[in-house]
Amino acid sequence: MKYTHIKSDLFSHNRKQFSDLLAPKALAVFNSNDIYPISADGTMPFQQHRDIFYLSGVDQEESILVIFPDSVNSAHREVLFLKETSDLIAVWEGEKLSKNQAFEVSGIKTVYWLQQFPTIFKQMMAEAESIYLNTNEHLRASTEVETREDRFIKQVKQDYPAHQVRKSAPLMHKLRSVKHSIELELMQQACNITEKGFRRLLSFVRPSVWEYEIEAELAHEFLRNRSKGFAYTPIIASGKNACVLHYIENNKQCLDGDVILLDVGAEYANYSSDLTRCIPVNGRFTARQKQVYNAVLHVKREAEKLLVPGTILADYHKEVGRLMEGQLLQLGLIDQTDIKNQAADWPAYKKYFMHGTSHFLGLDTHDVGLWHEPIKSGMVFTCEPGIYIPEEGLGIRIEDDLVVQDVGAPFNLMGNIPIEAEEIEELMNA
């Protein structure tokens, strides 16, 4: 891994929190992700399943974690199963975790090789009355591809039909949404790397540069700072491309007079950052561009004040909509007649601001969390209002990553990244 060692205290803490939520005489199983094939002998780069990483720190394929707090055998209350390493594997793929290294990473004392799993697991299931299975219940999940976890669930239901089946997902959503101090340090590191990439661009961007060249500059800066690269597919959208919310082609030339919408973020140790900034190609916003930019920035700053403990996210998004409505009126993009005639399920402001303002952030860019429960201290959210005006070839979105505090406004993990229009202009023309 490129990132530096993470203290195993984090993963021991996470397992303790999870274990405390389990029903009596229940065990839970978490599988690593597959390495996904492309064609021929090609594969996608390995990405660990975030849940097993959260609970163990193991960042390796073909790994299984079993948590069984009530096991009669104290050695089986936390167990890791790993792919056995060998001299041949070391030559072709690089060394895998040894049992001692796995303990140092995870804090788990009992480590078996993967081939021992069927025998040991059968012993554990003979004790257990129920099993927690780990399904993907993210609200935006696309599950067309069968995962290693999916195959395991099928096999368990076939082999152990008399056991009660429970769900890990609600427990993991609850736990992962509130960040440990070590997690916040890792997320801050991801944001700091993103800052370095953004500052690099301010002296690089000029008329005639290509969007993919900007993407390359970011990738260079991210990788040289121990990141694997982008936390999500980057959006480098100049001019009218910024009005396409998920524009990822990044293949157009940036023209004098246009504004570039940059929705980019570095990952670090599997944790995501998520930044959006807008910069003028020629280093100067026009009066109209700055007017729209400042309107979005105003909504963002007012929205941040609402990210406090006790807030319900559905109510939050409605209030942000009202804030945006006021700005769009001032910009002349909507009028009172539009508001009077608006549909209940599609307010007038949605013509120019059609997406949500905030989402959970953490190990996943769109991280897991319980949307129907009040916000708590320690949760991390993006805040990203935007205004998109296709007829003007202009899209402005501004986004930071915010940690909810016990008292007062949230802490901005991206507080050092330039955001004022004048500061961006000054740095671009330095």
- In the predicted structure, residue 92 carries a pLDDT above the cut 90: no
Which residue ranges form the domains of the chain, and what is each CATH number?
A: 8-176 (3.40.350.10), 181-428 (3.90.230.10)
Percent above pLDDT 90 for the chain: 95
- pLDDT attached to residue 227: 98
Tens-place pLDDT, residues 329-363: 999 999 999 999 999 899 999 999 999 999 999 99
- For the stretch 367-399, what's the b/e string if a residue is b when 16 or more beta carbons lie within 10 angstroms of its beta carbon? bbbeeeeebbebbbbbbbbbbbbeeebbbbbbb
Tens-place pLDDT, residues 149-174: 999 999 999 999 999 999 999 999 99
For 117-138, what is the mean pLDDT? 97
Distance CA 278, CA 235 (A): 11
Distance CA 227, CA 267 (A): 6
- In the predicted structure, residue 1 carries a pLDDT above the cut 80: yes
- pLDDT attached to residue 310: 97
For 279-293, what is the mean pLDDT? 98
- pLDDT attached to residue 95: 80
Q: Could you count the other beta carbons within 10 Å of the beta carbon of residue 365?
A: 19
What's the pTM?
0.96
- In the predicted structure, residue 414 carries a pLDDT above the cut 90: yes
- pLDDT attached to residue 318: 96
- pLDDT attached to residue 17: 98
- pLDDT attached to residue 85: 80
User: What are the Cα distances from residue 369, in Å, to 33, 315, 374?
Assistant: 21, 16, 11
- pLDDT attached to residue 89: 75
For 365-372, what is the mean pLDDT? 96
Tens-place pLDDT, residues 105-117: 999 999 999 999 9
Distance CA 267, CA 252 (A): 25
- pLDDT attached to residue 223: 98
Distance CA 399, CA 422 (A): 17
Interacting residues of 55 by C-beta distance below 8 A, sequence separation 6+: 11, 14, 15, 18, 30, 65, 67
Tens-place pLDDT, residues 199-229: 999 999 999 999 999 999 999 999 999 999 9
User: What are the Cα distances from residue 74, in Å, to 66, 129, 187, 373?
Assistant: 13, 17, 34, 36
- In the predicted structure, residue 402 carries a pLDDT above the cut 80: yes
pLDDT band at 141; cut points 50, 70, 90 = confident
- In the predicted structure, residue 233 carries a pLDDT above the cut 90: yes
User: What are the Cα distances from residue 188, in Å, to 52, 102, 231, 368, 401?
Assistant: 22, 26, 14, 19, 9
- pLDDT attached to residue 336: 97
Tens-place pLDDT, residues 38-86: 999 999 999 999 999 999 999 999 999 999 999 999 999 999 999 988 7
Which DSSP helix (H) or strand (E) runs through 279? strand 275-280
Distance CA 288, CA 146 (A): 49
User: What are the Cα distances from residue 307, in Å, to 229, 316, 349, 377, 379?
Assistant: 29, 8, 21, 10, 10
